Structure 1
C-alpha cells in the first residue's frame, strides 16, 4: 500500500474530498444526537419532577395519619407511566412507607439517599423530592425513570447518519473524479517541467500557465525562480572568474572538507601554498594535518573539531614546514554547513599565507619592546637623577630652617637666607617639572581631588610665592579675591602648583616698578541650554608681553619664545605646559592673551563649579586637625644613610622638642624598633642594606607605628608603593620643614 504522502495528487484530492464530506456529516450527526440527548434528558427530568410533586402532595395526609394503604393506592397510578420503573415513599425517619410496584420485595428497595435532587446513571434517572406540609417535612418520594426510549431514538439517528455517509461518499467520488483532472493536470505539467530542468540543467525552459488561480500563481513563481536562478548562475560564473583572478594575485587558496565522506578537496592554489605536488595530495584530513608543524598540530586539530561540534566559524593561525625545511605561517578560516536536520555535513574555507604579516608584526613588536625599554630606562634615569639631585638639597633646606628659627640669627642676613631658600625651592621645582612632564606624557599624572576653598589657597600663593619677590623689584601686587568665590572640587596641591607657576612667571617677566593684578570671580556661562557658573582666575602683568607668533605655542613644553628671552630669564619652559595639563585634568581651561611685545600678558584659568556634598561643607578651619597642646615631645626613629641630611634633620627635630634616635641601615632601624618604643618613624627609602619599605613592614608586624617616608623618588608609583608598605605619608626630597612639621602634627596629634 502506497503511503498517502507518496500517492498521486489526484488520489490525495479524492481523499481530501471524502474526508471533508464524511467529517461534515459525522459532525452534523453528532450535533443532532447530542441535541436529542440534551432535549430528552430535560424532558424526562421535568416530567418525573412533576409526577414526584403531584404524588408527594397527595401523600401528605397518608404520611400524617400513617395510612399505608392510601399511599400504595396513590403510587398505583404510576402504572400509566411506562418510563417509571420504581417509586418509594419514605417517612421522615427514612423508613420505607410505601412502594411501587407492589410485588417488589422490601429488602431490594434502595435506602433513602442523603440529599434531595436528581441524577442520571447510564440508563436511569434517579429523583428524590421532599414531601412537605406547611413547611414541615413529612417524608421523601423517590422515583426511578427508564432511559431506554432515548437510546432507541439515538439508534435510529445513527442508522440514518450511516446511510447519509454512504451516499455522500458515492457523490464525492463522482465529483472528485471530475475536479481532480482540472487541478492535477497543471501540477503534473509543472512537475514534468521541473524534472526536465533538473535533468538537462536548462534554466531557459518555462512552464505553461493555466489560469490565474493559486496553481497559476505557483507556475508564474516557478518561472520567475528559473529566471533568478539563470541570472544567479551568470553572476556566480562572473564571481568565480573574479575570485580566480584575485586568488592568482594573492597567496590564498580554498578548501572543502566533506564531513560525511571525510574527503578534503583543494583548489589549484592550495598546492603551491603548502609546497606539495597535486599528485602527492591524499585528500584526507590526516594528509592536511601532516603538513602542519608538529608543535601546532594538536591545536589546529582541536580548533577544527571544536568548530564542527559548536557549529562556529574557525579562524586559527599555525605554521607549516616547507619542503626545504623553511617555516611558513598560515591562517585557516572556514565555516561549517548543516543539512536540513542541523547535522554538520561539510566545512569550507580559505588558507592564507601570512608569513610576511607575521614578520612585520614581529618587527613592530620588537620595535615596541625596544621603545618601552627605552622609556623604562628613561624613567629610571629620571627617577635616579631626581633622587640624586634632591638628596643634597635636603640638608641645605634643613640647615636654612634651623638658622632661620634660631633667635640668635642676625636680621641682616635674613634676606640672604630667603634668597638661598628661594633658589633651592626653584631647583626642586625644576626637578618636579621634569618628572611631571614625564607623568603627563605617559598619562600617569593622578589627581587627589576633594572639596576645597580657593580663597585661602590663592591668598597663600600670593603671600608666599609672590609678594616678597615682587617687593624686591618694587612691583605692585593687587589681589581681588571675590568673597563670593565658591568652593571647587579639585586637587589642592596641583592647583597650588599651577598658581605658583603663573605667579612666578608674572613676577619673572615683569620689570621693576611694574604691576601684577590677580582677580578671582564667578562668571555665568551657558552650558547645554542652561546657565551655570565658572570660576575664573585672571593674572595680568605689565611685563614683556607675548608676540603673536609665539602666543599659539606658549603652552608647548620647553617653549619660552625667543632665544634671547631664555638666556635672559632662564628656566626650561615646562611650567605652562604642566599647568595647562593639570587644569585640563580638572575639566577646565588655561589660556593666554597679550596685546603684543612689551605690553604685558594675561593668563586666565577657568574651572567648573560643582555642587558640594553636604558632608564636606565645612570651613578650612574645620578641616584642620585638632591639636593636643599637652606633650609636644615625640619619640622619633630617624633612619637616613645620607650623613648631612641625617645630621641636619635630627638637629631640627631635636630643636622642635622631639626625642630623636638615628639609624643608617635597615638592620639598625629594626634593632632599635625591637629594643625601644617610638611614636613615629621617619625613614629614607634607599638604604645600604635594603629598602625603607622592608623596614616599615617589619616594624608594622610588631605594633602599629605611624611613619613618614623620605625619598628623592616622587613618581605616582613611588608614592603608592610607600602607602602600600604601611607609610602614612610620602614626602619628596628636598624635604620642606614646614611640610614635615604639618605631617608630624597630623600623625602624632601634637604641636611641632
Structure 2
C-alpha cells in the first residue's frame, strides 16, 4: 500500500471517530510532539554544552602547557619538553600531544599507549576543530608575542558521548513517563469536554432544523461551558474588537517593518560607502603596482590616498562595532572591565582619533578640563561614549565651536559636550536614546542611529546617567554623570 493511501485511510478513520476519541488523539498527539521537540531541544543543548565544556577544558590545558613549554622550545630542550607533556597522562581524555618548532618540526610528543597514533606532519590551521572521533586544539607557543612554536593536543570524545548518552536515556525515560501520565489524564478529562460539546452540538442542530434563532443553549453547570455560551452570544462584539486589535497590530507591524527597512537601507548605504572608497583606492594602487608606476606617482597624492583609505577603514570599523555592541546589549552580554581612568587623557585621545573629521568640519575645540580625580571605569567604553558625543558634535555642529568640559567632586565626575549646530527639537529628544533613533535626515547626515543608544547603555551600566539639552538652531549639550563612589568601592576591593 502506498504512503498516500495509508495517509488517506488514517485521515478518513480520524474523521469518522467520535469526538471523545478525537480529543484523546489530539491531546496525546500534541503532548507527544511537544515532548519530542522538548527532548530534541534538551539533547541538542546537552551536546552543545558538553562541546563547550570539552573546548574550555582542553583549551585551558593547552594554554597551560604552551606557557610552560616556552623555555623548553626556546632552548630546544626535548627532555624538558617531554616531561612537561608527560603531565597529560593524568588526563584520560588526552590521546596525543605534539610540540612543533617554528619550522614545523616535532620537538616533543606525548602519545597514550592505546592511541596508536603519530604526530601529524603539521598542526591544524584552526584553533580547534571537531572530527567524528576526536577533538583537536592548536595553541601557539609565544615568546615576547613572537610565535616560536605550536602545541597540538588531540582529545577523544568518549567522555562527552557518555555524558550525552546518559542525558538522552534520562530524557527518553522522562518522555515515556510523561506520555503515560498524559494518556491517563486525557482519558479522565475527555468526558468533561465532550459531554457539554455534544449538548451544544444538539442545540445547534435544533436551531438549524427549525430555523429558530431565538433558541438558546442552556447554560451548563460548569463555568467553562457557561463562558463558551456567553462567548457565543457576544461573538459579534468580540469579532469587532478583534478586528480593531488586528488593525492595531498590523499598524505596529507595518511601523516595525518600515523602521527595519529604513535601518537596512541606511545600514547598507553606510557600510557600502567606506567599502566603495576602499575598493577604489585599492584598485588604483593595484593598477600603479601592476604597471610599475608606483615609484613615479606623486608622493603626496599617494599619502593622501592611503590616509583616505585608513579613514574609511576606521569609519567602517566603527559601524561594525556599533552593530556588535547593539547585539551584546540586547543579549545582556555587555561587560565592563574597570580600571583607573583619567578623563583628561580620554579627552585628548578621542580628539586625536577624530582629528581628521574635526579638520574637515573646520570646527574649533575649546577644552575646560577641571578635576584630577581618576575614576574606576571601563576605559574602552568611556572612550567610546566620548567618541560618540564628540563625533555627533562635529557632524551636526555646522563647523561652529565645540566645547568639551569635565569636572569632578566628591561623589561624581561630569563630562559635557556642547556644540552650536542645528539643534534637536523637543519631540525628537523623547526617543533620541532609542535604537535607530535619528533627529536629522539620513540623506544629509550619515550614521546608523546607534551612538547615543549605546552611550546611554554604557553610562547606565556604570551607574551613571546621560542627559540632553537642545533647541533647534541653537545647538546641543549632552551631559554625562558618572559616580565616583563606585570607583572607591572597586579600589577598596582590589586592594583587599
- The TM tier, using the shorter chain, reads 0.3 to 0.5
Tell me which protein shows more strand as a share of its residues. 1
Q: Which has the higher contact order (CA 8 A, sep 6+)?
A: 2
Taking structure 2 as the reference length, the TM-score comes to 0.41
**Structure index of larger Rg:** 1
